Protein backbone atom coordinates (compact mmCIF):
# COMPACT_ATOMS: atom_id res chain seq x y z
CA UNK A 1 0.00 0.00 0.00
CA UNK A 2 2.91 2.34 0.71
CA UNK A 3 4.18 2.00 -2.86
CA UNK A 4 0.70 2.61 -4.29
CA UNK A 5 0.29 5.77 -2.25
CA UNK A 6 3.73 6.95 -3.26
CA UNK A 7 3.02 6.49 -6.96
CA UNK A 8 -0.30 8.29 -6.56
CA UNK A 9 1.51 11.16 -4.93
CA UNK A 10 4.24 11.20 -7.58
CA UNK A 11 1.66 11.42 -10.34
CA UNK A 12 -0.27 14.15 -8.53
CA UNK A 13 2.94 16.15 -8.25
CA UNK A 14 3.83 15.57 -11.90
CA UNK A 15 0.38 16.77 -12.91
CA UNK A 16 0.64 19.80 -10.64
CA UNK A 17 3.96 20.72 -12.28
CA UNK A 18 2.58 20.43 -15.82
CA UNK A 19 1.65 23.68 -17.48
CA UNK A 20 -1.88 23.57 -18.88
CA UNK A 21 -2.08 27.30 -19.54
CA UNK A 22 -1.93 28.88 -22.97
CA UNK A 23 -3.56 31.26 -25.39
CA UNK A 24 -6.34 31.65 -26.35
CA UNK A 25 -7.63 31.01 -22.85
CA UNK A 26 -10.99 29.76 -24.20
CA UNK A 27 -9.08 26.73 -25.49
CA UNK A 28 -6.85 26.09 -22.47
CA UNK A 29 -9.09 26.84 -19.49
CA UNK A 30 -11.39 23.86 -20.17
CA UNK A 31 -8.33 21.60 -20.42
CA UNK A 32 -6.97 22.62 -17.02
CA UNK A 33 -10.50 22.61 -15.57
CA UNK A 34 -11.03 19.00 -16.63
CA UNK A 35 -7.68 17.37 -16.01
CA UNK A 36 -7.07 19.03 -12.65
CA UNK A 37 -10.38 17.82 -11.20
CA UNK A 38 -9.81 15.15 -8.60
CA UNK A 39 -10.05 11.67 -10.06
CA UNK A 40 -8.74 8.27 -9.11
CA UNK A 41 -6.07 8.41 -11.84
CA UNK A 42 -6.71 4.75 -12.60
CA UNK A 43 -4.93 4.68 -15.98
CA UNK A 44 -1.78 6.54 -14.87
CA UNK A 45 -1.61 4.25 -11.83
CA UNK A 46 -1.80 1.10 -13.98
CA UNK A 47 0.96 2.51 -16.19
CA UNK A 48 3.22 3.37 -13.24
CA UNK A 49 2.58 0.04 -11.52
CA UNK A 50 3.35 -1.89 -14.71
CA UNK A 51 6.57 0.07 -15.08
CA UNK A 52 7.43 -0.62 -11.45
CA UNK A 53 6.66 -4.30 -11.96
CA UNK A 54 9.52 -4.51 -14.47
CA UNK A 55 11.73 -2.20 -12.46
CA UNK A 56 11.54 0.63 -15.01
CA UNK A 57 12.55 4.26 -14.58
CA UNK A 58 9.60 6.09 -13.00
CA UNK A 59 10.65 9.44 -14.50
CA UNK A 60 10.19 7.97 -17.98
CA UNK A 61 6.89 6.29 -17.10
CA UNK A 62 5.33 9.51 -15.81
CA UNK A 63 5.07 10.73 -19.43
CA UNK A 64 2.83 7.93 -20.75
CA UNK A 65 0.93 8.15 -17.44
CA UNK A 66 0.23 11.81 -18.22
CA UNK A 67 -0.58 10.92 -21.83
CA UNK A 68 -3.16 8.38 -20.64
CA UNK A 69 -4.83 10.76 -18.21
CA UNK A 70 -4.94 13.52 -20.82
CA UNK A 71 -6.33 11.10 -23.39
CA UNK A 72 -8.95 9.75 -20.96
CA UNK A 73 -10.11 13.27 -20.14
CA UNK A 74 -10.36 14.09 -23.84
CA UNK A 75 -12.77 11.15 -24.25
CA UNK A 76 -14.86 12.41 -21.33
CA UNK A 77 -15.16 15.91 -22.80
CA UNK A 78 -16.28 14.63 -26.20
CA UNK A 79 -18.55 11.90 -24.77
CA UNK A 80 -20.29 14.48 -22.60
CA UNK A 81 -21.25 16.45 -25.73
CA UNK A 82 -22.74 13.33 -27.32
CA UNK A 83 -24.50 12.27 -24.11
CA UNK A 84 -25.65 15.85 -23.42
CA UNK A 85 -24.35 15.26 -19.88
CA UNK A 86 -24.72 18.35 -17.72
CA UNK A 87 -22.55 17.16 -14.82
CA UNK A 88 -19.48 14.99 -14.23
CA UNK A 89 -17.64 14.43 -10.94
CA UNK A 90 -20.09 16.86 -9.35
CA UNK A 91 -19.08 19.70 -11.67
CA UNK A 92 -20.64 21.11 -14.85
CA UNK A 93 -19.23 19.46 -17.97
CA UNK A 94 -17.15 21.54 -20.41
CA UNK A 95 -19.98 21.36 -22.92
CA UNK A 96 -22.33 22.81 -20.30
CA UNK A 97 -19.99 25.35 -18.67
CA UNK A 98 -18.66 26.71 -21.99
CA UNK A 99 -20.26 25.37 -25.17
CA UNK A 100 -20.07 22.48 -27.64
CA UNK A 101 -17.61 24.23 -29.98
CA UNK A 102 -15.17 24.84 -27.15
CA UNK A 103 -15.66 21.27 -25.91
CA UNK A 104 -14.88 19.89 -29.38
CA UNK A 105 -11.76 22.04 -29.79
CA UNK A 106 -10.37 21.61 -26.27
CA UNK A 107 -10.85 17.88 -26.63
CA UNK A 108 -9.04 17.89 -29.97
CA UNK A 109 -6.13 19.80 -28.45
CA UNK A 110 -5.97 17.31 -25.55
CA UNK A 111 -5.85 14.36 -27.94
CA UNK A 112 -2.92 15.97 -29.77
CA UNK A 113 -1.28 16.84 -26.45
CA UNK A 114 -1.63 13.23 -25.28
CA UNK A 115 0.50 12.16 -28.25
CA UNK A 116 3.07 14.84 -27.43
CA UNK A 117 3.39 13.46 -23.89
CA UNK A 118 3.58 9.85 -25.10
CA UNK A 119 6.40 10.82 -27.47
CA UNK A 120 8.63 12.18 -24.69
CA UNK A 121 10.38 9.02 -23.42
CA UNK A 122 13.07 7.09 -25.31
CA UNK A 123 10.48 4.58 -26.50
CA UNK A 124 8.17 7.41 -27.63
CA UNK A 125 7.38 6.10 -31.10
CA UNK A 126 6.20 2.75 -29.73
CA UNK A 127 4.15 4.44 -26.99
CA UNK A 128 2.52 6.79 -29.49
CA UNK A 129 1.62 3.82 -31.72
CA UNK A 130 -0.03 2.12 -28.75
CA UNK A 131 -1.92 5.32 -27.97
CA UNK A 132 -3.02 5.70 -31.58
CA UNK A 133 -4.31 2.15 -31.70
CA UNK A 134 -6.31 2.46 -28.50
CA UNK A 135 -7.66 5.88 -29.51
CA UNK A 136 -9.17 4.38 -32.66
CA UNK A 137 -10.58 1.41 -30.74
CA UNK A 138 -12.24 3.73 -28.23
CA UNK A 139 -13.87 5.71 -31.05
CA UNK A 140 -15.19 2.39 -32.37
CA UNK A 141 -16.52 1.47 -28.91
CA UNK A 142 -18.20 4.84 -28.45
CA UNK A 143 -19.82 4.58 -31.89
CA UNK A 144 -21.12 1.09 -31.04
CA UNK A 145 -22.55 2.50 -27.81
CA UNK A 146 -24.28 5.29 -29.76
CA UNK A 147 -25.64 2.71 -32.22
CA UNK A 148 -27.06 0.62 -29.35
CA UNK A 149 -29.28 3.52 -28.28
CA UNK A 150 -31.40 3.16 -31.39
CA UNK A 151 -30.78 -0.51 -32.17
CA UNK A 152 -33.71 -2.79 -31.35
CA UNK A 153 -31.82 -5.91 -30.42
CA UNK A 154 -28.30 -5.87 -29.04
CA UNK A 155 -26.73 -9.27 -28.48
CA UNK A 156 -24.56 -10.15 -25.48
CA UNK A 157 -21.44 -10.68 -27.66
CA UNK A 158 -22.01 -7.24 -29.22
CA UNK A 159 -22.34 -5.67 -25.78
CA UNK A 160 -19.15 -7.38 -24.57
CA UNK A 161 -17.28 -6.18 -27.66
CA UNK A 162 -18.53 -2.64 -27.02
CA UNK A 163 -17.31 -2.54 -23.40
CA UNK A 164 -14.03 -4.18 -24.44
CA UNK A 165 -13.46 -1.31 -26.89
CA UNK A 166 -14.90 1.44 -24.75
CA UNK A 167 -13.33 0.54 -21.40
CA UNK A 168 -11.07 -2.51 -21.28
CA UNK A 169 -8.56 -1.69 -24.02
CA UNK A 170 -7.52 1.56 -22.34
CA UNK A 171 -6.73 -0.18 -19.05
CA UNK A 172 -4.82 -2.85 -20.99
CA UNK A 173 -2.93 -0.18 -22.95
CA UNK A 174 -2.06 1.68 -19.76
CA UNK A 175 -0.36 -1.47 -18.46
CA UNK A 176 1.23 -2.12 -21.85
CA UNK A 177 2.70 1.39 -21.98
CA UNK A 178 4.20 1.11 -18.51
CA UNK A 179 5.76 -2.26 -19.36
CA UNK A 180 7.01 -0.94 -22.70
CA UNK A 181 8.80 1.97 -21.04
CA UNK A 182 10.39 -0.50 -18.61
CA UNK A 183 11.61 -2.63 -21.52
CA UNK A 184 9.66 -5.77 -20.56
CA UNK A 185 9.78 -8.68 -23.01
CA UNK A 186 6.98 -9.14 -25.56
CA UNK A 187 5.37 -12.22 -23.99
CA UNK A 188 5.14 -10.52 -20.60
CA UNK A 189 3.67 -7.37 -22.15
CA UNK A 190 1.04 -9.56 -23.79
CA UNK A 191 0.17 -11.25 -20.47
CA UNK A 192 -0.11 -7.88 -18.83
CA UNK A 193 -2.32 -6.65 -21.67
CA UNK A 194 -4.61 -9.68 -21.21
CA UNK A 195 -4.69 -8.98 -17.48
CA UNK A 196 -5.88 -5.44 -18.30
CA UNK A 197 -8.55 -6.56 -20.76
CA UNK A 198 -10.08 -9.02 -18.30
CA UNK A 199 -9.80 -6.61 -15.42
CA UNK A 200 -11.52 -3.97 -17.54
CA UNK A 201 -14.36 -6.27 -18.53
CA UNK A 202 -14.94 -7.21 -14.89
CA UNK A 203 -14.69 -3.56 -13.91
CA UNK A 204 -17.40 -2.52 -16.39
CA UNK A 205 -19.76 -5.37 -15.43
CA UNK A 206 -19.34 -4.35 -11.81
CA UNK A 207 -20.28 -0.81 -12.84
CA UNK A 208 -23.46 -2.16 -14.43
CA UNK A 209 -24.31 -4.00 -11.20
CA UNK A 210 -23.44 -1.09 -8.91
CA UNK A 211 -25.71 1.22 -10.86
CA UNK A 212 -28.67 -0.70 -9.46
CA UNK A 213 -27.38 -2.54 -6.40
CA UNK A 214 -25.07 -0.09 -4.65
CA UNK A 215 -25.40 2.15 -1.67
CA UNK A 216 -25.96 5.43 -3.52
CA UNK A 217 -24.07 7.48 -0.95
CA UNK A 218 -20.89 5.47 -1.51
CA UNK A 219 -21.01 5.13 -5.27
CA UNK A 220 -22.18 8.68 -5.88
CA UNK A 221 -24.52 8.00 -8.76
CA UNK A 222 -28.27 8.01 -9.20
CA UNK A 223 -29.77 4.65 -8.17
CA UNK A 224 -31.01 2.73 -11.22
CA UNK A 225 -29.94 5.47 -13.63
CA UNK A 226 -29.24 2.94 -16.38
CA UNK A 227 -32.81 1.62 -16.17
CA UNK A 228 -34.28 5.13 -16.16
CA UNK A 229 -32.21 5.89 -19.29
CA UNK A 230 -33.21 2.59 -21.00
CA UNK A 231 -29.54 1.64 -21.24
CA UNK A 232 -29.07 -1.87 -22.57
CA UNK A 233 -26.50 -2.95 -20.01
CA UNK A 234 -25.31 -6.48 -19.37
CA UNK A 235 -27.93 -6.85 -16.61
CA UNK A 236 -30.73 -6.09 -19.04
CA UNK A 237 -29.38 -8.31 -21.83
CA UNK A 238 -28.78 -11.19 -19.41
CA UNK A 239 -32.29 -10.76 -18.01
CA UNK A 240 -33.76 -10.97 -21.53
CA UNK A 241 -31.78 -14.15 -22.10
CA UNK A 242 -32.99 -15.74 -18.84
CA UNK A 243 -36.57 -14.48 -18.92
CA UNK A 244 -39.77 -16.28 -19.84
CA UNK A 245 -41.65 -14.97 -22.87
CA UNK A 246 -43.91 -12.95 -20.56
CA UNK A 247 -41.09 -11.34 -18.55
CA UNK A 248 -39.16 -10.58 -21.73
CA UNK A 249 -42.16 -8.77 -23.24
CA UNK A 250 -42.64 -6.79 -20.04
CA UNK A 251 -38.96 -5.81 -19.85
CA UNK A 252 -39.02 -4.67 -23.46
CA UNK A 253 -42.15 -2.63 -22.73
CA UNK A 254 -40.55 -1.01 -19.70
CA UNK A 255 -37.36 -0.20 -21.64
CA UNK A 256 -39.45 1.45 -24.34
CA UNK A 257 -40.93 4.00 -21.90
CA UNK A 258 -39.54 7.48 -22.44
CA UNK A 259 -41.26 10.24 -20.52
CA UNK A 260 -44.48 10.77 -18.64
CA UNK A 261 -44.20 7.74 -16.33
CA UNK A 262 -43.17 7.16 -12.73
CA UNK A 263 -39.41 6.56 -12.92
CA UNK A 264 -39.14 5.07 -9.43
CA UNK A 265 -41.94 2.65 -10.15
CA UNK A 266 -40.27 1.56 -13.38
CA UNK A 267 -36.90 0.96 -11.68
CA UNK A 268 -38.65 -1.00 -8.93
CA UNK A 269 -40.52 -3.23 -11.35
CA UNK A 270 -37.42 -3.93 -13.46
CA UNK A 271 -35.44 -4.71 -10.33
CA UNK A 272 -38.14 -7.11 -9.11
CA UNK A 273 -37.93 -9.01 -12.41
CA UNK A 274 -34.10 -9.07 -12.21
CA UNK A 275 -34.29 -10.34 -8.62
CA UNK A 276 -36.79 -13.05 -9.45
CA UNK A 277 -34.57 -14.24 -12.33
CA UNK A 278 -31.43 -13.94 -10.18
CA UNK A 279 -29.80 -11.78 -12.83
CA UNK A 280 -27.40 -10.15 -10.40
CA UNK A 281 -25.93 -13.53 -9.43
CA UNK A 282 -25.58 -14.52 -13.08
CA UNK A 283 -23.73 -11.30 -13.95
CA UNK A 284 -21.54 -11.62 -10.87
CA UNK A 285 -20.55 -15.09 -12.07
CA UNK A 286 -19.48 -13.69 -15.46
CA UNK A 287 -17.59 -10.96 -13.63
CA UNK A 288 -15.78 -13.53 -11.52
CA UNK A 289 -14.84 -15.47 -14.64
CA UNK A 290 -13.15 -12.33 -15.99
CA UNK A 291 -11.45 -11.77 -12.65
CA UNK A 292 -10.05 -15.28 -12.69
CA UNK A 293 -8.78 -14.87 -16.23
CA UNK A 294 -7.20 -11.57 -15.22
CA UNK A 295 -5.29 -12.99 -12.29
CA UNK A 296 -4.25 -16.06 -14.30
CA UNK A 297 -2.69 -13.71 -16.86
CA UNK A 298 -0.90 -11.87 -14.07
CA UNK A 299 0.45 -15.17 -12.76
CA UNK A 300 1.73 -16.09 -16.22
CA UNK A 301 4.13 -13.16 -16.19
CA UNK A 302 7.68 -14.43 -15.90
CA UNK A 303 8.59 -12.75 -12.61
CA UNK A 304 8.69 -13.86 -8.96
CA UNK A 305 5.19 -13.58 -7.47
CA UNK A 306 6.34 -11.16 -4.76
CA UNK A 307 7.25 -8.59 -7.42
CA UNK A 308 3.60 -8.55 -8.47
CA UNK A 309 2.31 -7.58 -5.01
CA UNK A 310 1.72 -3.89 -5.68
CA UNK A 311 -0.11 -4.36 -8.96
CA UNK A 312 -2.15 -7.25 -7.54
CA UNK A 313 -3.09 -5.26 -4.45
CA UNK A 314 -4.12 -2.30 -6.59
CA UNK A 315 -6.26 -4.52 -8.86
CA UNK A 316 -7.89 -6.13 -5.84
CA UNK A 317 -8.72 -2.72 -4.43
CA UNK A 318 -10.37 -1.87 -7.73
CA UNK A 319 -12.43 -5.03 -7.99
CA UNK A 320 -13.65 -4.60 -4.41
CA UNK A 321 -14.71 -1.00 -4.85
CA UNK A 322 -17.32 -1.23 -2.10
CA UNK A 323 -14.64 -1.55 0.58
User: Does 64 interact with a second copy (rule: CB under 8 A)?
Assistant: no
Q: In 10 A of CB 284, how many CB atoms?
A: 15
User: Does 86 interact with a second copy (rule: CB under 8 A)?
Assistant: no
SS (H, E, C) the chain: CHHHHHHHHHHHHHHHCCCCCCCCHHHHHHHHHHHCCCCCCHHHHHHHHHHHHCCCCHHHHHHHHHHHHHHHHHHHHHHHHHCCCCEECCEECHHHHCCHHHHHHHHHHHHHHHHHHHCCCCCHHHHHHHHHHHHHHHHHHHHHHHHHHHCCCCCHHHHHHHHHHHHHHHHHHHHHHHHHHCCCCHHHHHHHHHHHHHHHHHHHHHHHHHHHHCCHHHHCCCCCHHHHCCCCCHHHHHHHHHCCHHHHHHHHHHCCCCCCCCHHHHHHHHHHHHHHHCHHHHHHHHHHHHHHHHHHHHHHCCCCHHHHHHHHHHHHHHHCCCC
User: Does 82 interact with a second copy (rule: CB under 8 A)?
Assistant: yes
- Write each residue from 249 to 288 as x if it is in contact with a second copy (CB under 8 A), else as -, in one continuous string: ----------------------------------------
Which CB, 151 or 288, lies closer to a second copy?
151
Among 59, 86, 89, 132, binds a second copy (CB under 8 A): 132
User: Does 228 interact with a second copy (rule: CB under 8 A)?
Assistant: no
Among 12, 136, 218, 317, binds a second copy (CB under 8 A): 136
Which CB, 12 or 146, lies closer to a second copy?
146
Q: In 10 A of CB 298, how many CB atoms?
A: 23
Among 47, 128, 270, 279, binds a second copy (CB under 8 A): 128
User: Does 109 interact with a second copy (rule: CB under 8 A)?
Assistant: yes
Among 129, 249, 292, 322, binds a second copy (CB under 8 A): 129
- Write each residue from 10 to 49 as x if it is in contact with a second copy (CB under 8 A), else as -, in one continuous string: ------------xxx-xx----------------------
CB of 104 to a second copy, least distance (A): 6
Among 4, 42, 85, 119, binds a second copy (CB under 8 A): 119
Which range of residues in 94-102, 212-220, 227-235, 284-292 is near a second copy by CB under 8 A? 94-102
**Three-class SS of residue 150?**
helix
Q: What is the number of alpha carbons within 13 Å of residue 286 lying toward its C-beta? A: 19
Tell me which residue of 52, 38, 37 sits closest to 7, measured CA to CA: 52
CB of 35 to a second copy, least distance (A): 15
Among 72, 78, 280, 312, binds a second copy (CB under 8 A): 78
Which range of residues in 110-118, 209-217, 237-245, 306-314 is near a second copy by CB under 8 A? 110-118
Which CB, 26 or 299, lies closer to a second copy?
26
Helix (H) or strand (E) holding 87, with range, is: strand 87-88
Among 102, 242, 286, 300, binds a second copy (CB under 8 A): 102
**Which residues would be at the binding site for a second copy (CB under 8 A)?**
22-24, 26-27, 78, 81-82, 100-102, 104-109, 111-113, 115-116, 119, 124-125, 128-129, 131-133, 135-136, 139-140, 142-144, 146-147
Amino acid sequence: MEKIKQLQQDFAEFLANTNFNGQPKELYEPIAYTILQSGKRLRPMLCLLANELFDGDEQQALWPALALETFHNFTLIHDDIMDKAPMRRGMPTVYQKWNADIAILSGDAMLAQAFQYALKPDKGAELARQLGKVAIEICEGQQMDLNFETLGNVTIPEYLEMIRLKTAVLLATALQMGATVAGAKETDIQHLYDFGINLGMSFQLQDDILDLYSDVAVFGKRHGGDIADNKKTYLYLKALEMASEKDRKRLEQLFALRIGHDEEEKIEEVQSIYDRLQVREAVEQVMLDYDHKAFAALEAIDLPEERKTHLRTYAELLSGRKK
